[in-house]
Amino acid sequence: MNAPFFARDTIGSGRERIRIRAARREDLDGLAALDAWAWPDGARPESGRGAPFATRFSLADLTVALAGERHIGFIALSPRSRDAANSHVGLARALLVATDFRGLGVATSLFAAAEAWARARGFVKIDAHVLSGNRAGAACLGKLGFSVEGRLRGEYRIDGQLIDELHLAKWLSAPDALRAGSAEASRGPAP
């Protein structure tokens, strides 16, 4: 997310100052360790197992949260695709906060930075996906203004079990088509 669009430079009070900033190359090891902690053996969807952190996320798409030198959270927000037809949509590919720093506004601050970046890029919508069993993640996204747009049943196989994936979205600015009903909805079902 290279641009320094941050709602707050620091959050929290007390013994540790928490900083939100664009990721740097030297952050990759700390972010990889945080990501590995969040996905213990067997819990990560098979598509991401074994893939190095730096190959799954572009440095330009990452914003980090630090307490001192410790990486305590990150968000990865990128364009939804390279297709011009949905170039107005961003995808929050990951939002993660260490357990001992949850409830302090870290996720809110990370998302505020990502949302400012998205608005500056001209995005009008941000999509996010969360596994159905991740109630804390879904609740966090709900507090950030996301709503469920769909559910893909059995989308992931984790430890031999099929897990649903929820698709959520937050509209940054609703186009006229949404206020009046989408063009697709007004045409009716496809033949």
- Which CATH architecture is the domain 10-174 placed in? 3-Layer(aba) Sandwich (3.40)
The encoded tokens of residue 108 equal: 């809110």
List, for the chain, all residue ranges whose pLDDT scores fall below the cut of 70: 1-16, 39-52, 174-191
> Cα separations (Å) of 87 from 31, 56, 96?
27, 20, 25
Q: What is the DSSP letter of 101?
A: G
Give 138-148 pLDDT, tens digit per residue: 999 999 999 99
The pLDDT of residue 146? 93
The pLDDT of residue 149? 93
- For residue 112, what is the enclosing H or E element? helix 106-120
> Cα separations (Å) of 49 from 11, 58, 62, 74, 77?
33, 17, 20, 19, 20
> Cα separations (Å) of 68 from 44, 71, 188?
28, 8, 55
Give 13-26 pLDDT, tens digit per residue: 454 689 999 999 99
The pLDDT of residue 4? 36
The pLDDT of residue 60? 87
Look up the pTM and report it.
0.75
